[in-house]
Amino acid sequence: MIFEASDAPELRTAHVIVVANEKGGSGKSTLSIHLAVALLKAGYRVATIDLDIRQRSLTRFFENRASFANTAPWPVELPRHFAPDRAEGANVHENESAEFAVFAEAIGEVEHEYEFVVIDTPASDSYLMRLAHSLADTLISPMNDSFIDMDVLSRVHHDRARRGMVSQYAEIVIEARRKRRLVDNGLIDWVLVRNRIASLKSNNARQVDQALRKLAVELQFRVAEGLHDRVIFRELFPLGLTALDALEEANHTLTPSQVSARREIETLLGDLMLPERVEGSDHLQSRHLWFEAISGYYRELTAKKAE
Ligand SMILES: Nc1ncnc2c1ncn2[C@@H]1O[C@H](COP(=O)(O)OP(=O)(O)OP(=O)(O)O)[C@@H](O)[C@H]1O
Ligand SMILES: [Mg+2]
C-alpha cells in the first residue's frame, strides 16, 4: 500500500467509524455506545447506524437513552439514529439492492451535516457488513486478550508452517481496503482495540500483546489500549447511560473504577487519532489533516513490512 500526498481523496464531511469484528461478543456494541456518547459529549454532531439487525443492541441503548432523556434532570445528548431493516425477499440480488438503497440513503442524509457516523455491525458476515467496511474511515475491531480472538485475524497454529495464514475476517478488511482505494483513493485506518482487559497483567496477555504487534505490521493495523473489564461498562445499559454521563448529579458517588472508566474512554478517543476540532477551521479541513497524518503512519508501516 503506497500513499502519495497527491493521491488525497475527495473526503466527505462525516468521518465514518465502523465497529466490527467477526468474533461475537468482543465488545462491538459496547464500544459503539461509548464512542458515540463520548463524541456527542465533545459537542460533535453524531449519527449512529445499527447494522446488527437481529440483536439491535445499539438501537435498544438509544431507545433507553431517549426515554431517560424525557424526564432526565440534566440534558442528555442523543445522536441521529438509523436502524435499517434487512430485506427478506426470495431474490438475493434484489435484497442486496434494497439494503444498499436504505443504507446509502442513511449515509446520504448525514454525510455532509454530521461530523461523525458510528456504525455498529453484527458478528456474522453479510452484504451490509462488507458494505460498511468499505465505507469506513476508521475501522475499530475490539478483541479480548485471547488467542481465540486473535485466531479470527490470523490463524494461530502450533505448526509454524501453517501459522500466520490470513483468516477470513482479515480478508474482508483487505478486500474493503482494495475497493476503497479504487472507489475514492481513500484509506481505512484499522485499529484493534483491546477490550475487557484484566486488571492483573498475565503471561497470556503479554504473549497476545507481542503477537498482536507482529501481526500489526503484517496486516497493517494499529493497536489501541482499550477498556478494562468493568461493571460500569455494562450496568447502565437499561437506563441508556454510560460512565460518561453526569452520574454524580443523580447522587451517585463515583467509584474509583468509574473515574478510571472515564479516563479509559478519553485515552481511547486520543489513541483513535480521529479528526479533531481546530479553532478557526471546519471539520472537512480537520479530515484532511487526519488523512495526512494517517497516511503518513501507514507509509511507515508499509516500509517496515517491506524490510
Ligand atoms: N469492557 C467491558 N467491561 C465489562 N463488560 C463488557 C465490556 N465490554 C463488553 N462487555 C460485556 O460483554 C458482552 C458482549 O459485549 P457486546 O454486546 O458489546 O459485544 P458485541 O461484539 O457487540 O457482541 P455481538 O457480536 O453479539 O454483537 C456484553 O454483556 C457486554 O455488556
Ligand atoms: Mg453487538
The ligand 1 atom at the shortest distance from the C-alpha of residue 30 is 18
- Sign, CA dihedral 269-7-107-94, equals negative
CA–centroid distance, residue 168 to ligand 2 (Å): 19
Ligand 1: residues with CB < 6 A are 24-30, 52, 55, 57, 122-123, 195-196, 227, 229-230, 233-234
Predicted pLDDT of residue 1: 40
Measured between alpha carbons, how far is 64 from 154 in angstroms, rounded to an integer?
Answer: 37
- Residues 295, 187: contact at Cβ < 8 Å? yes
Share of the chain above pLDDT 70, in %: 93
Predicted pLDDT of residue 269: 97
Predicted pLDDT of residue 157: 55
pLDDT band at 274 (very low <50, low <70, confident <90, very high): very high
Closest CA to 18 of 30, 28, 8: 28
Residue nearest to atom 8 of ligand 1 (CA): 27
pLDDT surpasses 90 at 19: yes
pLDDT surpasses 50 at 2: no
- Residues 157, 163: contact at Cβ < 8 Å? yes
CA–centroid distance, residue 83 to ligand 2 (Å): 13
- Residues 52, 121: contact at Cβ < 8 Å? yes
Give the CA diameter of the chain.
61
Per DSSP, the three-state class of 52 is coil
Predicted pLDDT of residue 213: 85
* Ligand 2 is an ion; residues with CB less than 5 A from it: 28-29, 57
pLDDT surpasses 50 at 4: no
Q: Give the ligand with the smallest distance to the CA of 21.
A: 1
Predicted pLDDT of residue 117: 98
CA–centroid distance, residue 25 to ligand 1 (Å): 5
CA atoms within 13 A on the CB side of 13: 17
CA–centroid distance, residue 272 to ligand 1 (Å): 19
Across 288-306, average pLDDT: 92
Per residue in 27-45, pLDDT (tens digit) is: 999 999 999 999 999 999 9
pLDDT surpasses 80 at 173: yes
Closest CA to 50 of 76, 69, 32, 37: 32
Instruction: Specify the CATH superfamily of domain 5-306.
Output: P-loop containing nucleotide triphosphate hydrolases (3.40.50.300)
Residue nearest to atom 10 of ligand 1 (CA): 27
pTM for the predicted model, two decimal places: 0.92
The ligand 1 atom at the shortest distance from the C-alpha of residue 234 is 31
Which one is predicted more confidently, 305 or 263? 263
Which one is predicted more confidently, 211 or 268? 268
- Residues 250, 73: contact at Cβ < 8 Å? yes
Predicted pLDDT of residue 161: 56
pLDDT band at 153 (very low <50, low <70, confident <90, very high): confident
Across 69-78, average pLDDT: 92
Predicted pLDDT of residue 3: 40
What's the mean per-residue pLDDT of the chain? 89
Q: Give the ligand with the smallest distance to the CA of 30.
A: 1
